[in-house]
Structure 1
């Protein structure tokens, strides 16, 4: 064997080694960044456990109050934040539009309409029944939104969220009209003003359903990604586009319906977090999902902590803080897209 023949395999091995080194370092840095993000979110959750008007350490029955109020509230922040953030990512993939989530597609307004109809028609239905009807209403409303998108020519990405916002406004007006007719405006105001104030032990457990929604999004991530490329591409690679579309819509509807029943509206959460993650990390849906979950938890927790501390012992609803932060981030994303 000549010197050249001996050197060729060695060169190939060296090339493989040189290529593996940067890839290994990149994976290591990614894992380190994820661990750091988990630690930061954990710190925020600990702060949520320690902040409140009631003195847990020195107050009478402080330990009992800690488990009755603080722990359920923090768990609700985790469940709602992760579910709504991942649901926003699903909506953006299925509609192929970065400006769509449950807030800008009318999904939450449909959930509120279903909840109101439940109160009017079957007031004896419990929390689980209200959750199921609100989720069904949100599912129907999201399908209506998808059907409208299929029947119009979309010339700009801003048309899609504008359609959803207008549809949501019509549904919200109908909900408000019915509430006014039956003297339920105060109840509607409570739903539209999302807050974790009323979350206590025995009142938040239904939210564990949205944890299943989040897990299912992880399971279906690859299929949702392919479906987001369009019906023709999805069908050509063997993905049943219509099935994935309905499944993804159902997941979004359940997340919106359950959170509306338990805590009310949390605006812009599913819009801002996936966009920020995509701007930092790119468009790999499966690898972005853990970051989207952590981002959703972090954002809703920060807004809730701000709401609890800015006028302590009174509370500013988390939806108000989230609306301010989310709208500012939404405008920033719009301007960034325009300048891109």
Structure 2
């Protein structure tokens, strides 16, 4: 058990350290491709830049697909202000106050990465009496660059331009009590689990009953991640994504969360019931939940018109799209359920 957890946590640390806002994912995709190549797993890129690894099973007519997304929340430079600050446009959906005070990187086209801090415009409480009261919006949240700049022209000389990506410092930490804290656990925790699943299948020479595709998607946060390039033989499609925690939710940081319904509607009943049954049979701690303001790669595939049975499971993640946290209990329970699922019959 501990060996598996150690591998998953190590992958989480590596993945969260690689900037990957939606639209800027080549680095993290190449990292995962290299891992798969070392393991001897067949993998290829889609035209959109997603990565699909395939493990052949005993039945090559009926396929399964599992997906986790490697793209994360971020921003793009929207405007350079006259005094040398940067205004941003969101990439993905988050609250501006959730990134206030965060360190960040600006990824320029030709001049490499530059650093800065995301702050309220005029942020000093000793100067601005309205700091505590004002609403945080794209009009008053700015990047303060760690460079000597006093004007728009100074910033442009650094190579920064409108359309450059901005990534947020993940601030990864692992506590002695088993909590993993970091930005972008949505969905790099799930991607780490999926990488270790592939690793286990290869190293233990596990023969899967069905050919299985592991799809690392790169546009989930903007709504159209793994909704294309799905092999036509695919019968079941299981998204691995965070269980959303909060008031009124059943999920916790210690269980695997099985989604019954999100904002797109109910997930496939037979597949959901099969996942619950597998959890009970394998001693996996689970919770069934409904996510009211949520969509997944699986629901995106359904909207795209694919004739598949779709499901959604994942580790419980606290404070989604903010300073996220989960526990190794949840990572382990998610891994156990997914490995049991891969060995089970089709629904």
Which TM-score band (shorter chain)? Answer: under 0.3
* Larger strand share, 1 or 2: 2
TM-score, structure 1 as length reference: 0.24
TM-score if structure 2 supplies the norm length?
0.24
Structure number with greater CO (CA < 8 Å, separation at least 6) is 1
Higher Cα radius of gyration: 1
